[in-house]
């Protein structure tokens, strides 16, 4: 069986500073995978490398059996990989509805058409309405994205990655800055929407991590120090030493 | 929230129908206005004003397709306008020579010419965004002007290229020679072009252009190449600018280098921005208003250019949304019935504003008349008074007016702003509940 | 042969003048992300101020005072204009400078008239520095060259050695980071903007009398300076130097070549009807188009310019 996402010996440095060294990782299709690690471990950089935002120094990225190394972000998206950003990145002057609709356009077959009404893509509009409901943003449908509250913007940020129906989804700290209740709602949403898809997320909230993840990778100091099912990662001595520390005591 | 999907869909489609009805009404109204206008302004001046407005509307809308819809500032937009015009003009000359084509259709040649030139220009420029894009368009514009000057065989050098619009095949018995006849051709194309450009804003590409304007990086991660979207939008915009150029060719029956140069590009930027880049109607408002001001004030004062520059800078500083932006930010206040209170705050500003304005006009007019006097001309009158720009104390009056007015304005403005903010917040709160 | 040398020297002087203008603009664009459309207007103001001052006090006081005046004006524009529109975004900033250029272009002829003013090279330097093959080379041109090189050296040293220079260089490549390091960025911006304008003013002082001082000089040079800055790559000083010299040399040389395109392309085996519309154009004819043609060529091959640093 081919992995949904396979990283083979990735290296990245900025000038003389090495950020990531020899990252290899296989993520099985249909699983939920979480990447954790202390700040500065290179997690967001890893996402940028996978999605074409940054260029690799060395190594290969394979998506569903296809080598996507060096492709542009839009080309990678077209092969079925969508992502969200740690720093909210929306279309500020457009409504919530339009934000989501833009995210769904490519996979709804809109192309670059300038001779067809966008409203004529009924299925796309339905998808978007459905997503609005799931994100509990229905009442905010026609509000401009920059007028939303922070938590609403975070929800929309996740929605942009989910709405297009990509088979592999990368979420960069989806619950950052959310309250307890909002986090729980998001976890429920992700559990529901990740069915049949591959979900890779960077997450700091360990309760979310152990609640949601099928497998966990721990990144520290630019390298993978542990990878596997939650139970094995939780028991890993190096992980405890490098990262989990006191938090792990609480969880066990 | 838990509204059943069926009623939700029904609500949406009712919204869509109402939206469609509203648009049909607006365009119906536009057609009626277009048909009545020439009877209200039947003088030679009136008709030539209307014809210029029709051209300016199409040109400004095509410009805003880039600036307002796509976030691209094109410093050389007149290139597509002018070269579209030249294409039309050459075809018109063939028509004059016996090519059996109705003159009324010729703006289409302009459209094709504009789009044709926009392909190489856009290929170079749209790979960049923002400031770099704007600077590249400036380079392309200079290159186009230099090329046009260099090839007099095609572009007629200093004299330009001229044709005769009445020399073609008559359509329904009209030869379009008279200004009153060509008006209907121009109005027809203005309505068609405006309707099409409005249509484009409702298409996938139109919406993607907005997305690229707001956040090109994110668009890249949603499966679209932002540069490709900019490129296609650029070509479409060149197409419509070309229509305007074709209209210009038919209206003026002559085209010169000045039609593609920086002044023409500057003019379209001016009217679009003053009208407002944030709405579809903004450029139309700007085109109508600036054309009117230009033709009215242009004959009254030499200082028109300076005034338009000052208006432009004032807009950039204090009303970046243009006139349509001002209207839009006041509409909910008026609807909320809070206009009265706000009007009082604004009226308090009025005397100070008038004094400042009188000072600026006085200074500018004195300066222009000083120049005229130096050149051996007469200083003439201002506000019914004989002026003598060589007399120093005459400068003191407008200077004092300006300084006094400006000082007063800067003291009063915060109050008016606060009143506006309060009213806007109140109106928004009332609507939100 | 001597003629060719003179053409090259003139091209070099012109290129260095372009660099004096474009280096200031490059700093402004690179740091603030603002294309100052009015940059060449400050160049024009420098020339006119210098003319007025030199009428009363002579050239040498003008050489010092005019750039300072222009610099002060630049500081005022940044402080009371640009900073106010900053919150409306990049586009508003750019458009503000467009309006400013337009207004300066209207006011200058009001004050100094529509035709050229008699701003002349100082008598002290108005003598032939050397004669080659019967052609004299004016000393003032050598002076221009010396001033340009001195400015370049001074700028380079200031950027490389001083603390402020370090901040500026950091801001060129990482504009967002500098504020986080606790530097008073608005003040640095004002300084850089003022200094950039003063440099443009200085270029006006020494260029206005070597060429001509007319109300059209800003527009004529403005677009070329933008071409230089883009071609060099936004924010790259070395790129601006290379592009300035290249445009200066190529444009000066091409003015002297009056061979028709048709004949020339025929030499290298490209067929172009020597009697057609394109074939009859001479290189000298095409000289005004050269900078933009180069710009388009460079961008077609290298979308970021020769040494582009900033992405936007």
Q: Residue ranges per domain, chain C?
A: 2-301
A112 vs B205, B214, B220: nearest CB:
B205
Alpha carbon separation from B239 to B73, B81, C177 (Å, rounded): 17, 9, 42
Q: Which CATH number fits domain B22-322: 1.10.10, 1.10.510, 3.30.1370, 1.10.3470?
A: 1.10.3470
CB–CB of C312 and B131 under 8 A?
A: yes
CB–CB of B204 and A111 under 8 A?
A: yes
CB–CB of B218 and A115 under 8 A?
A: no
Between A156-165, B184-193, C155-164, the lowest mean confidence (pLDDT) is in C155-164
Instruction: Tell me the pairing of strands B381-382 and B254-255.
Output: unpaired
CA distance B169 to B167: 7
Q: Does B385 touch chain A (CB under 8 A)?
A: no
Reported as a single tens digit per residue, the pLDDT across A166-224 is 999 999 999 888 889 989 989 999 998 888 899 999 998 888 888 889 999 998 888 89
Query: Which residues from B are below 8 Å from A90, CB to CB?
Result: 215, 218
CB–CB of B130 and C312 under 8 A?
A: yes
CA distance B151 to C222: 24
C268 has a pLDDT exceeding 70: no
pLDDT at C197: 94
Q: What is the dihedral of CA A66, A72, A77, A81, to 10 degrees?
A: 60
Distance from CA of A110 to the nearest CA of B (A): 6
B225 vs A74, A118, A160: nearest CB:
A74
Contacts of B32 (CB under 8 A, 6+ apart): none
Closest-CA residue of chain A to B201: A114
Residue to mutate among A91, A116, A123, A130, with most B CBs inside 10 A, is: A91
Q: Rank B168-182, B253-267, C146-160, C270-284 by mean pLDDT and report only the highest.
A: B253-267
CB–CB of C219 and B262 under 8 A?
A: yes
Q: Does C165 touch chain B (CB under 8 A)?
A: no
Q: Does B131 touch chain C (CB under 8 A)?
A: yes
Q: How far is CA C128 from the centre of its chain?
A: 26
Using pLDDT thresholds of 50, 70 and 90, give the confidence band for residue B277. very high
pLDDT at C272: 60
Query: Which residues from C are below 8 Å from B262, CB to CB?
Result: 219
Reported as a single tens digit per residue, the pLDDT across C30-85 is 777 788 889 999 999 999 999 999 988 888 898 899 999 999 999 999 998 888 88
Query: Which residues from A are below 8 Å from B204, CB to CB?
Result: 105, 110-114, 116, 118, 121
B170 has a pLDDT exceeding 50: yes
pLDDT at B6: 47
CATH superfamily of A1-80+166-252: P-loop containing nucleotide triphosphate hydrolases (3.40.50.300)
B223 vs A77, A92, A119: nearest CB:
A77
Closest-CA residue of chain B to C305: B132
pLDDT at A133: 93
Query: Which residues from B are below 8 Å from A82, CB to CB?
Result: 221-222
Alpha carbon separation from A220 to A42, A215, A239, B318 (Å, rounded): 8, 17, 9, 51
CATH number, span C2-301 = 1.10.3470
CB–CB of C92 and B312 under 8 A?
A: no
Write out the two tokens for B169: 């095949």
Closest-CA residue of chain C to B129: C312
Q: Does C128 touch chain B (CB under 8 A)?
A: no
pLDDT at B292: 92
B positions 129-168 inside 8 Å of A (CB): none
Span C228-240, average pLDDT: 83
Contacts of A51 (CB under 8 A, 6+ apart): A73, A76, A81, A83, A170, B221
B5 has a pLDDT exceeding 60: no
- Segments of chain A with pLDDT less than 70: 1, 242-252
Q: Residue ranges per domain, chain A?
A: 1-80+166-252, 89-165
* Range B201-224 burial, b when 16+ CB lie within 10 A, else e: bbbbbbbbbbbbbbbbebbbbbbb
B positions 215-234 inside 8 Å of C (CB): none
Reported as a single tens digit per residue, the pLDDT across B343-362 is 888 888 888 889 999 899 88
> What's the predicted TM-score (pTM) here?
0.89
Query: Do chains A and C have 3 or more beta-carbon pairs under 8 angstroms?
Result: no
CB–CB of A102 and B221 under 8 A?
A: no
CA distance B386 to B395: 13
> Where in chain B are all domains bearing CATH 1.10.3470?
22-322
């Amino acid at each position: 069986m081919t992995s949904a996402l396979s990283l083979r010996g990735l290296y990245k440095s900025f000038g003389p500073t090495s950020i990531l060294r020899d990252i290899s990782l296989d993520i099985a299709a249909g699983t939920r995978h979480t990447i954790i690690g202390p700040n500065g471990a290179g997690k967001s950089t890893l996402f940028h490398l996978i999605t074409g935002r940054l260029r690799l120094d060395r190594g290969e990225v394979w998506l569903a059996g296809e080598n996507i190394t060096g492709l542009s972000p839009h080309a990678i998206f077209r092969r079925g990989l969508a992502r969200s950003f740690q720093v909210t990145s929306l279309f500020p002057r457009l409504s919530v509805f339009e934000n989501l609709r833009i995210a769904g356009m490519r996979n709804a077959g809109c192309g670059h058409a300038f001779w067809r009404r966008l409203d004529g893509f009924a299925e796309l509009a339905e998808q978007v309405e459905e997503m609005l409901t799931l994100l509990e943003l229905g009442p905010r449908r026609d509000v401009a994205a920059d007028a939303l509250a922070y938590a609403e913007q975070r929800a929309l940020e996740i929605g942009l990655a989910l709405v297009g129906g990509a088979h592999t989804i990368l979420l960069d700290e989806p619950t950052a800055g959310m309250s307890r209740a909002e986090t729980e709602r998001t976890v429920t949403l992700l559990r529901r929407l990740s069915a049949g898809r591959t979900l890779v997320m960077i997450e700091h909230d360990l309760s979310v991590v152990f609640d949601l993840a099928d497998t966990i990778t721990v990144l520290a100091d630019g390298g993978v120090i542990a990878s596997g099912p939650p139970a094995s990662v939780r028991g890993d001595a190096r992980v405890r030493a490098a990262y989990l520390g006191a938090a792990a005591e609480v969880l066990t | 929230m838990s509204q059943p999907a069926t009623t939700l869909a029904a609500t949406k489609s009712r919204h869509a129908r109402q939206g469609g009805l509203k648009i049909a009404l607006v365009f119906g109204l536009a057609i009626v206005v277009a048909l009545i206008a020439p009877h209200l302004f039947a003088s030679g001046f009136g008709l030539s004003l209307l014809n210029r407005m029709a051209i300016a509307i199409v040109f400004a809308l095509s410009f805003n397709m880039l600036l307002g819809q796509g976030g691209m500032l094109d410093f050389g937009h007149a290139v597509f306008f002018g070269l579209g015009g030249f294409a039309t003009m050459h075809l018109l000359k063939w028509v004059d020579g016996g090519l059996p084509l109705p003159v009324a259709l010729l703006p289409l040649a302009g459209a094709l010419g504009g789009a044709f030139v926009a392909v190489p220009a856009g290929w170079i420029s749209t790979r960049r965004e923002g400031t770099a894009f704007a600077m590249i368009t400036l380079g392309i514009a200079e290159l186009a002007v230099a090329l046009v000057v260099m090839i007099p065989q095609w572009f007629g050098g200093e004299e330009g290229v001229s044709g005769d619009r009445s020399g073609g095949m008559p359509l329904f018995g009209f030869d379009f020679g008279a200004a009153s006849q060509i008006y209907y051709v121009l109005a027809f194309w203005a309505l068609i072009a405006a309707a099409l450009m409005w249509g484009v804003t409702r298409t996938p590409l139109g919406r993607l252009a907005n997305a690229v304007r707001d956040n090109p990086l994110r668009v890249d991660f949603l499966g679209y190449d932002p540069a490709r979207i900019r490129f296609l939008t650029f070509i479409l915009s060149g197409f419509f600018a070309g229509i305007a150029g074709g209209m210009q060719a038919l209206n003026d029956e002559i085209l010169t280098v000045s039609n593609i140069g920086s002044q023409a590009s500057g003019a379209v930027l001016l009217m679009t921005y003053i009208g407002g880049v944030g709405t579809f109607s903004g450029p139309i408002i700007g085109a109508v208003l600036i054309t009117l001001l230009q033709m009215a004030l242009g004959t009254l004062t030499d200082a028109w250019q300076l005034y338009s520059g000052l208006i432009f800078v004032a807009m950039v500083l204090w009303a970046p949304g243009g006139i349509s932006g001002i209207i839009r930010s006041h509409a909910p206040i008026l609807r909320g019935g809070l206009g009265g209170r706000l009007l009082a705050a604004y009226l308090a500003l009025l005397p100070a504003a008038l004094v400042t304005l009188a000072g600026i006009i006085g200074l500018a007019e004195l300066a222009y008349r000083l120049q005229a006097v130096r050149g051996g001309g007469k200083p003439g009158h201002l506000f019914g008074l004989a002026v003598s720009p060589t007399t120093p104390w005459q400068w003191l009056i407008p200077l004092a007016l300006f300084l006094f007015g400006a000082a007063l304005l800067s003291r009063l403005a915060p109050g008016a702003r606060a009143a506006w903010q309060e009213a806007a917040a109140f109106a928004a709160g009332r609507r939100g509940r | 042969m001597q003629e060719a040398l003179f053409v090259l020297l003139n091209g070099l002087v012109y290129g260095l003048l372009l660099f004096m203008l474009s280096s200031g603009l490059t700093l402004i664009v690179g740091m603030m992300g603002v294309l100052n459309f009015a940059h060449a207007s400050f160049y024009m103001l420098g020339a006119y101020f210098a003319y007025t001052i030199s009428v009363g006090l002579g050239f040498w006081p003008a050489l010092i005072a005019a750039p300072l005046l222009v610099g002060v004006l630049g500081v005022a524009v940044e402080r009371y204009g640009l900073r106010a529109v900053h919150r409306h975004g990049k586009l508003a900033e750019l458009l503000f400078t467009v309006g400013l250029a337009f207004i300066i272009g209207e006011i200058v002829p009001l004050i100094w008239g529509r035709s050229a003013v008699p701003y002349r090279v100082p008598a002290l330097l108005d003598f032939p520095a050397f004669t080659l093959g019967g052609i004299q080379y004016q000393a003032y041109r050598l002076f221009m060259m010396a001033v340009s090189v001195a400015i370049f050296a001074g700028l380079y040293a200031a950027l490389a050695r001083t603390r402020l220079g370090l901040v500026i260089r950091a801001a060129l490549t990482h504009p967002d980071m500098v504020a986080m390091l606790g530097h008073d960025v608005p003040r640095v911006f004002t300084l850089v903007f003022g200094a950039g304008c003063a440099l443009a003013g200085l270029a006006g002082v020494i260029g206005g009398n070597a060429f001509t001082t007319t109300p059209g000089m800003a527009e004529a040079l403005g677009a070329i300076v933008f071409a230089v800055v883009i071609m060099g790559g936004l924010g790259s000083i070395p790129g601006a130097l290379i592009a300035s010299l290249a445009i200066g040399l190529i444009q000066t040389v091409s003015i002297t070549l009056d061979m028709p395109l048709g004949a020339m392309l025929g030499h290298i085996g490209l067929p172009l009807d020597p009697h057609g519309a394109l074939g009859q154009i001479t290189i000298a004819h095409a000289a005004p188009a050269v900078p933009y043609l180069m710009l388009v060529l460079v961008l077609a091959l290298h979308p970021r310019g020769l040494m582009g640093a900033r992405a936007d």
